[in-house]
Structure 1
Amino acid sequence: MGASSIMTPVLIVGGGPVGLTLAIDLAHRGIKSIVIEERSEPMAHPKATLLGARSMELFRRWGMDRSVYDAAIPADNPYYIIFTTRLAGQELYRVQSPSIREMMTRDPVAAARFAEMRWSPYGKTQIGQQALEPVLLAKVAELGAFIDLRQGWRCERFTQDADGVTGHVVHIETDAKEDISALYLANCEGGVGPIRRQLGIRRNGRGKMRSNVSLFFRSKDFLEVHGRGLANLYFVFTPDCFGVFTAIDGEELWNFQYYFLDPARQAEPIDPEAILFRAMGKPFDFELLNITHWSHHQSVARKWRDDRVFLLGDSAHLFAPTGGVGMNTGIGDACDLAWKLEAVLKGWGGPRLLDSYERERKPIAVRNSIVSATNSDKTDMVMDETPEGIDLPGEAAALDRAELGRKIRWLSRQFSSAGVHLGYRYVASDIIVADGTLEPADDPSRLTPSTWPGSRAPHAWLDDGRSTLDLVGDIFVLLVLANETTELPSLIDAFAQAGVPVRVERIADPEIAALYEQPFVLVRPDGHVGWRGAGEPDDPAAIVRTLTGW
């Protein structure tokens, strides 16, 4: 590598939610990074608006969950998704999920109604990207000894050799140039950027699916005008204005995604007032804050690694927003790569460990992007079949609305998405020790909690008020369930001999022991099960070698 003015173990290009999550996870593992971000301020537009349960579990590790809740839609607001002809027109159907307050207090009435409250401490958390990024930036500021955030800089290109990678960066305002030398570069710059283009990595999948325009606006009268009460999403099913309103702060900030179901219309001039008034069904006062043109996608990069350069988030995969999975998949990418970089940088991770990043995360991106695209297809199909005059008076329109409501009940099952967010597992990974048992069902709407190797270690509440999730997520952890007298000393010694950090945690609760299926469950630093068994393995050293990529 040529001489450079700055050196760091990890250079992160892109300071959005995925890049900041990676930097925070690395910092908690004692690994320094430099983050390069073109923007000098948080995202102004609520590009993403949902944190799924697994992302909230990951943020819980760093004590960020309450800060996210404080910035999210108000905790006491019920979580509704409402389907209408026009927002102030006819209501067709509504779906409810637990509120933030019900999740926080473990409300017993809600727990009896909503199955997802058994599977995680968290449900759907509605928060716009423009509100989430300041929370992440505040955590980055706390970890300033480990994270050098450089806003207003662009990485124009990189070079790499056997010893490392150099990012060639420029300050946008002054045109000052610097070289940043690193051992690894994590590309989190989004769907369009020079790093992936320089690598020449194409994407597979359906590609661009449908064009949309988002209208981000402020209106203090919005709730009063339509009179339906606060909901998280309001879908509009009328042929002249298909789309969805999203509550951004639950008070005065809203976003409307206007769908171009007919591709021939996507070039038409945008009249925000006309669009919003048609979708509402009547005029109302608003202040337009931002207009964003974008498209649904189902695309996954063919390669996620080129030697010392890794793709994460939108640089690796592009989604339709139906399901709220795109940003959450990127957060999962970051937390998978972070512990593997730590292991290699600290010397106990083997050469196969970094290869496993693509092998584990790429199938998850394919899975999740297909689920999201299918959700989009279902919504588009029902919208396209909606007849003209759906909101008119009379018996014929009433019959049309009844039929539309039936179709909406069918497509609304996509909003029960706990299985998508919590049920992904690393199948056929070469750093997981399979045990030959049948894989649990992979149902997008429901979770089958399991310690099947590769799965997320299940959540359950401990007697002291903690979750089982609070026992894992930093180093390897051997969970000893129920009344087992041994702690597998041969396995623990094999970790010690290899210099791999591990600890033992005991759980005496017989119900949790039944949930965990085996008396011994070894959980990786990312919270996924790496091995399980009924006693000492025949070759403990081989188990450790597999789990650490040697």
Structure 2
Amino acid sequence: MSVISTHVLIVGAGPIGLALATDLGSRGVDCRVVERLESLDVSDPKIMHVSVRTMEFCRRLGISQAVRHWGFPEEHPQDTAFVTSMTGHELARINVPSIADTPPSPFSPEETTHCPQNWFDPILRERAAAYSSVRFEYGKELIGYDQDDNGVEARLRDVVDGAEETIHAQYLVACDGYHSTVRPTFGVSMTGRQRVDYSVNILFRSGALRGAQPFADALRYVLIGPEGTWGTLWSVDGRDVWRLTVYGTDGAGINALDPDDAIDRLGLPGLRYEILSVTRWTRRALVAERMQDRRVFLAGDSAHVTPPNGGLGMNTGFADAMNLGWKLAAVLEGWADAGLLDTYETERMPVVQFAVDEAMRNYTRITEDTTLDGLDADTDEGERIREELGSRLRAENVKAWRPVGVHLGYVYSSSAIVADASPQQSESEESEEYEPSTIPGVRAPHAWLRDGRSTLDLFGAGYALLTFGADRDNIAEFLRAAALHSVPVEVHDLTDQGFASLYQRRLVLVRPDGHVAWRGDEFTDVNLLVDSLRGVRSSGDCSPR
């Protein structure tokens, strides 16, 4: 019989694999992270945008301050500017305050932040490596696996010497991206758009660029010529590192693109710069048909590939990891049934599809109907064209930048969520809209406690039961039922905190991932409710009263 080498084998040491490893490490779960590359120094930071929800997860993992204050100038505006060139006309601007000037959010103790992948990944990796239960192995590729009721037998190969080994794990999670070695074994395809466009990222250093362009500083410049939207320019570090992304419909043209010609197209003659990396890639919008095959799971880009517009890709994958991590831990610790793991796909698939669709809407908002003759003409007609385009771009895109509703408003529905009679929320295309609620399945709302913590700081380890003047004997009955199965529940009496109306019921039960599992004014069938929390399927009624 094989010796269990690890409880969870994670394939891929990118941000999603790191997020899952950190979450499992924080729960004391033994896990092993294997990565086929010998190192993951990020020369092309594809990730720039860390959403407010991901920052809340980072807060629980103990790294939100490091992510927020990694070194980007805190007075630098985080605007998006639409320009005809870097010395041409500014068409529109979406103002986003600097880190220093960002007002406190009424909805979260955290805020969306700019943290490029070459800073974000090392912060996560250092945090994960701090847990003794987490082990990293680079230069190891997965070449196959088999699974049965006892676990997963994974075959690994050393990329340098070709040596092979077999690892026995209870569960395997593929976080190895679009070109996953695990997903093909599922026998599922990815549906959606295999090609939205072809693109090239050009990372370069230029200390002169900020002083050469006439506009106020921005975090991102969307470049629109008479031929339409052709690229975006990001200020990566707020100083002298930039990333230019060029869009193209012709793959051969993108492959033949001269990076120097692309930088010249910015309209800054004589600009001194150093090219650091060039990456050619395909923009896709795809979702796998399934995210789970018994003991094997897909997370991040192995399960869904999202256009980067709006920063939904990594942030959606991060939420995959946070949904799956506590469930794996609960089953491995023995207090949850394996049925709890089946809720991962059920809960995440609708959210993932919505994120991909929203990213496509974001892409369309900056590219559609932008091909206009005379756009850069210094005439009255040119001015009219620019004013009309700028007005439309601002109106259509202001909702897409920091879309709080998309990041905080998604809803889970599964057997691990006990619905009540309230009308169920659904994601809205009005992405800036968000209304806090405790309808089962939503993210439990933030409020500041008197001791300076957020309500979100109460969630994470196990279930959190928030009480607002409920009957103590009734609560004790539920706690006894939970204790019979070792279900971890921590009670927080918030009667005197002044925000009972925000939580809407006398009892609100919050899962370790911060989503509401159940709410009511009193417990009814406590045994049935505990079974739901444990992932045990039953046909009874534990609806709240």
**TM-score computed with the length of structure 2 as normaliser:** 0.93
Query: How far is 1:231 from its partner?
Result: 1.7
Q: Name the structure where helix makes up a greater proportion of residues.
A: 1
**1:339 aligned onto 2:338:** no
Query: How far is 1:509 from its partner?
Result: 4.8
What does residue range 150-165 of structure 1 map to in structure 2 within 5 Å? 150-165=137-152
CA distance in 1, matches of 2:453, 2:124: 24
CA distance in 2, matches of 1:239, 1:281: 18
Report Cα offsets for 1:303-345 as digits up to 9, x if no partner: 1111111000000000011110110010100011111101111
Alignment partner, residue 539 of structure 2: none
CA distance in 1, matches of 2:143, 2:496: 54
Report Cα offsets for 1:368-402 as digits up to 9, x if no partner: 1111111112222133xx31342221111111101
Alignment partner, residue 88 of structure 2: 89
Query: How far is 1:48 from its partner?
Result: 1.3
Alignment partner, residue 435 of structure 1: 420
**1:457 aligned onto 2:444:** yes
- Range moving further from structure 2, 331-340 or 486-495: 486-495
Query: How far is 1:163 from its partner?
Result: 1.1
What amino acid maps onto 1:387 in structure 2?
A: L
CA distance in 2, matches of 1:245, 1:13: 32
CA distance in 2, matches of 1:457, 1:75: 30
Structure 2: gaps spanning 5 or more residues:
537-545
Query: How far is 1:511 from its partner?
Result: 4.2
What amino acid maps onto 2:120 in structure 1?
A: L
Cα separation, partners in 2 of 1:318 and 1:419, compared to 1, 3 Å: same
CA distance in 1, matches of 2:99, 2:492: 30
Query: How far is 1:510 from its partner?
Result: 5.6
Aligned partner of residue 452 in structure 1, secondary structure:
coil
CA distance in 1, matches of 2:463, 2:222: 44
Any conservation in 2 of the 1:156–1:170 contact (CA below 8 Å)?
yes
Aligned partner of residue 424 in structure 1, secondary structure:
coil
Query: How far is 1:43 from its partner?
Result: 2.1
Structure 1: gaps spanning 5 or more residues:
104-109, 112-116
CA distance in 1, matches of 2:426, 2:296: 34
CA distance in 1, matches of 2:408, 2:417: 18
Equivalent of residue 113 in structure 2, options 125, 133, 139: 125
Cα separation, partners in 2 of 1:265 and 1:401, compared to 1, 3 Å: farther
Query: How far is 1:416 from its partner?
Result: 4.0
Alignment partner, residue 107 of structure 1: none
Query: How far is 1:507 from its partner?
Result: 1.7
Query: How far is 1:98 from its partner?
Result: 3.7
Report Cα offsets for 1:435-492 as digits up to 9, x if no partner: 01012363321211111100001111112211110011110010012x4463711111
**1:526 aligned onto 2:513:** yes
Report Cα offsets for 1:328-363 as digits up to 9, x if no partner: 010100011111101111111113201101000111
Cα separation, partners in 2 of 1:280 and 1:146, compared to 1, 3 Å: farther
CA distance in 2, matches of 1:305, 1:523: 24
Alignment partner, residue 394 of structure 1: 379
Aligned partner of residue 363 in structure 2, secondary structure:
helix
CA distance in 1, matches of 2:426, 2:487: 33
CA distance in 2, matches of 1:527, 1:274: 48
What amino acid maps onto 2:89 in structure 1?
A: Q
Cα separation, partners in 2 of 1:219 and 1:20, compared to 1, 3 Å: same
Alignment partner, residue 369 of structure 1: 356
Alignment partner, residue 100 of structure 1: 99
CA distance in 2, matches of 1:317, 1:162: 27
Cα separation, partners in 2 of 1:57 and 1:402, compared to 1, 3 Å: same
Any conservation in 2 of the 1:296–1:320 contact (CA below 8 Å)?
yes
CA distance in 2, matches of 1:520, 1:67: 35
**1:24 aligned onto 2:22:** yes
Alignment partner, residue 129 of structure 2: 141
Any conservation in 1 of the 2:511–2:517 contact (CA below 8 Å)?
yes
Cα separation, partners in 2 of 1:259 and 1:338, compared to 1, 3 Å: same
Identity of aligned residues (%): 36
Aligned partner of residue 382 in structure 1, secondary structure:
coil
Cα separation, partners in 2 of 1:66 and 1:247, compared to 1, 3 Å: same
Number of residues of Structure 1 aligned to a counterpart in Structure 2: 530
Cα separation, partners in 2 of 1:416 and 1:34, compared to 1, 3 Å: closer
Alignment partner, residue 262 of structure 2: 275
Alignment partner, residue 43 of structure 2: 44
- Range moving further from structure 2, 389-398 or 462-471: 389-398
Equivalent of residue 254 in structure 1, options 242, 258, 273: 242
Aligned partner of residue 21 in structure 1, secondary structure:
helix
CA distance in 1, matches of 2:395, 2:266: 23
Query: How far is 1:72 from its partner?
Result: 5.5
Q: Once superposed, what is the RMSD of the aligned Cα atoms?
A: 1.8
